[in-house]
Structure 1
């Protein structure tokens, strides 16, 4: 591991990391999230985070009561990013069901809507914590409910809507979890076929072109 202090900031130009370094609550959260994703929850420790940022751990207690307070904040960030992001996409207006599913597909492209690596880290954390498992189960339920409601809006029967929602949701999670060595262009070329499987309908060329343009902003070699 490098000895150079690191910070993951939304605005890296703010508060230059020289001299008497001041870190914010967001800095602590961002570095803690990086560690959660790369090393697991067991490595999210106050002293280790302070050393990574090159600051005293005493500054941690300006923003958090305890390590558990930090962990709770990480779970809140995860829900606000992934669960809120997916539900928002499922609820977004669309003229057709294929366009609606393409809105959800945006979660696979844009990490600001859905951070896949973070979702995997929380699922791994849930294997070690009953409390986190309960939160994850509730979050999964909210996501599936939103996807089910999306299909219901386009006049699918209730049982079919729930089934298609689960197939869509779990396929997307499993696809990314599999870590396939697949070029993004290949994945994108299958979009029309996936849509037909998920919805039973064919997407229009305009819908596919719009999604491809969006995805290519994020899917780079």
Structure 2
């Protein structure tokens, strides 16, 4: 089912569209992403997207050569957002390994930084498409490499760095899927314990406070109208 993301023409913060243009390329991509996350790749159909945005199907071809071209754009978006975000967070400045892991935790707190629903959708798609599976594996490898290098920067032995990178990565991927139904306070209360489990080190009170402030700010922004 289409969740009707805000279109360019309906967003007062955007510049007005010119001439007969009713939707932008990004509108098509956002609509397709919404459907991919809610109904899977089989639900991404040009005619349905056009109907949902109340535009002619022919306008699709101003921006994309074919449905395959659109699907390739969805994969590219996933690489440029989710994979790039986790790699960037792994490389973000940090004085301690526990602070570095808090940077990674931001991916699970902030859906604008890392879209877990999109990751699940890509993984489901990859089960039935070898080409997508190859792209997904390359993304996983890039993320794990960045996480391993994060631990190596803090002088963990190579094998231990690899193991700890895998533990934190696969836990991050499965956390939302576990559907723990916990409050933000419950989740934040677990952070010190998670950091000890992932790193073998005790976090500082300042690190915990900094992450908690970030999480509360993100949650408040997401819930505001």
- Superposition TM-score, scaled by structure 1 size: 0.93
Find out whether 1:12 has 2:27 as its counterpart: no
Structure 1 residue matching 2:144: 3-state secondary structure? helix
Look up the match of 1:196.
Answer: 196
Superposed CA deviations along residues 125-173 of structure 1, whole A, max 9, x for unmatched, are 1111111011101100110000000000000000000000000000111
Residues of 2 paired with 1:100 and 1:25: CA distance? 36
Q: What is the aligned partner in structure 1 of residue 102 from structure 2?
A: 102
The unaligned stretches of length 5 or more in structure 2 are none
Deviations 1:17-56 (A, max 9, x none): 9xx6610000000000000000110010100000000000
CA distance in structure 1 between the aligned counterparts of 2:56 and 2:11, rounded to whole angstroms: 20
**Hey, what's the Cα distance between the residues in 1 that align with 2:16 and 2:195?**
47
Distance 1:8 1:146 in 2: 34
Gaps of 5+ in 1: none
Per the TM alignment, residue 184 of structure 1 is displaced from its structure 2 partner at its CA by 1.6
1:111 Cα deviation from its structure 2 partner: 1.4
CA contact (8 A) 1:21 1:55 kept: no
Structure 2: how far apart are the matches of 1:139 and 1:129? Answer: 15
RMSD: 2.1
Counterparts of 1:173 and 1:160, CA distance in 2: 20
Q: How many residues align?
A: 218
Structure 1 residues 48-67: aligned runs within 5 Å? 48-67=48-67
Is 2:108–2:114's contact at 8 Å kept on the other side of the alignment?
yes
CA displacement 1:61-110 (0-9 Å, x = unmatched): 00000000000000111111100000000001110000000011111111
TM-score normalised by the chain length of structure 2: 0.91
Counterpart in the other structure of 1:152: 152
SS of the residue 1:22 aligns to = coil
Q: What is the correspondence of 1:27-66 to structure 2 with a 5 Å cutoff?
A: 27-66=27-66
